[in-house]
Amino acid sequence: MSRKRGDFKKRAIVATKVNAATLSVGSNSFLILIKLFAGIITGSVSLIAEAVHSLMDLAAAGIALVSVRISDKPSDKQHPYGHGKAENVSGVIEGGLIFVAAGIIVYEAIKRLITGRTLELLEVGIAIMAVSIVVNVLVSRYLLKVAKATDSLALEVDARHLTTDVMTMVGVLVGLILVRFTGLNWIDPVVAILVALFIMRTAYELTRKSFGGLIDVKLPAAEESVIRSCIMEHDYQVVAFHALRTRKAGSYRYIDLHLVMPKNESVEEAHRMCDHLERDIRNRLPRAHITIHVEPCATECDRCSVSCTLRDRG
C-alpha cells in the first residue's frame, strides 16, 4: 500500500509540474500576440522589444515543459541516476535565449534612435502593457508556488524569468506614458535599451545557477547541515562519519557518505541504522537518493562516546 501511495504521489507531482509549464506556454503565446499587435499599430520599439522578449519566454516555457517531462522519467539502464539534469540543461538554454533577446532589443533600439519615429495610438499600447503585467504577475506567482512545492528548477527558472518580465514591462509602460504626455519619442528606444540591460543581468544569474548543477556543485550549506544533524542525533550509536559528498540534478538530491560504526556491531544493526538515517534525511530533504558506506571503528575507545561492549570491556 505504501508503495502505491508513493507512486500516486509521484504521478501527482509530475502532473502538477506539467500543468504549470503548460500554463506558462499558453500565457506567453497570448502575450506575444497582443504585444506584437500593439507594437505594430503604435510604432513603439519598446513594445516590439517586449514582444520579442515574450517570444523568448515562449521558447523557454516550451523547453521547461519538455524538461520537466524528461526529468521525472524513472531511471533506466542508460540513465541509472535518472534524468534530473534535463532541468539544468533547460536553464542553461533559457539563459542563452534571454541573451539573444536582449541583443535583438539593443539593435532595434539603437536603430530607432538614429532614424527616429513618431508614435501613434499610445493609449492602446498602454492598455495592452497593463493587461500583460497583470497576466504575468498571476502566472509567475503560480509557477513559483508549484516550483517550491515540487522542487523543480525548470519551473523556478521560468517563474523568476516571468517575474523579471513584470519589472521590464513596468519600465516600458512608464516609458509609453511619458511619451504620451511629453511627446519625447526618444524615450521609447532608451527604455528599450534599459530593459535589455536588465534582461542580460537576469540571463547571467539564471545561466550561472543552472550550469552549477551540470558540474555537480554540492548542496547548499543549510541542506548539508540538515544531513549532519540527522547523523549527530545518533552520536550515542554512531562513532563518526566522513567523506560526505552531495550534488543535485533537477529536483533530485544525491548524497553519499562513510559511516563509522562500533567494530563489534552486527551487520543487521548497522543496516538498521543506515535505513533509519536514510528515512530521517528523506523526511527533511525530499527526493534524496542516499548511499551509505559502513566502516568499523578503530577501537580508540578513549576518544569515543558510544556505549558498546568493546568500550565496556575496556
**260 and 206 housed in the same domain:** no
**18 and 165 housed in the same domain:** yes
**49 and 167 housed in the same domain:** yes
Q: Which domain holds residue 195?
A: 2-214
Give dist(CA 50, CA 131) in Å, integer. 13
Please indicate whether residue 185 or residue 298 has the higher confidence score (pLDDT): 185
Least confident of 20-29, 174-183, 220-229: 20-29
Q: Which of 181, 198, 214 is the last residue of a domain?
A: 214
| CATH code at position 292 | 3.30.70.1350
Give dist(CA 248, CA 264) in Å, integer. 35
Q: Which of 179, 214, 249 is the last residue of a domain?
A: 214
Please indicate whether residue 243 or residue 62 has the higher confidence score (pLDDT): 243
Pairing relationship of beta strands 252-261 and 240-249 according to DSSP bridges: antiparallel
At residue 164, does pLDDT exceed 80? no
53-57: Cβ within 8 A, 24+ apart? 53/101, 53/105, 53/165, 53/168, 53/195, 53/199, 54/28, 54/165, 55/101, 56/97, 56/98, 56/100, 56/101, 57/24, 57/28, 57/31, 57/161, 57/162, 57/165
At residue 208, does pLDDT exceed 50? yes
Share of the chain above pLDDT 90, in %: 13
Q: What is the pLDDT of residue 1?
A: 47
**Which cell numbers hold the place of 181?**
504626455
**Which cell numbers hold the place of 304?**
569515543
Least confident of 76-90, 114-128, 182-196, 255-269: 76-90
**271 and 206 housed in the same domain:** no
Residues sharing a CB contact under 8 Å with residue 274, sequence separation 6 or more, in sequence order: 259, 292, 294
pLDDT tens digits, 40-86: 888 887 787 778 777 776 776 677 667 667 766 776 677 666 666 66
| Per-residue confidence band for 293, with pLDDT thresholds at 50, 70 and 90 | very high
At residue 106, does pLDDT exceed 70? yes
At residue 203, does pLDDT exceed 60? yes
Rank 17-26, 114-123, 157-166, 180-189 by mean pLDDT and report only the highest.
Answer: 180-189
Q: What is the pLDDT of residue 19?
A: 80
Domain count, the chain: 2
Q: Which of 150, 184, 214 is the last residue of a domain?
A: 214
**150 and 257 housed in the same domain:** no
pLDDT tens digits, 107-136: 878 887 887 777 778 888 889 888 888 988
At residue 9, does pLDDT exceed 60? no
Give dist(CA 21, CA 31) in Å, integer. 16
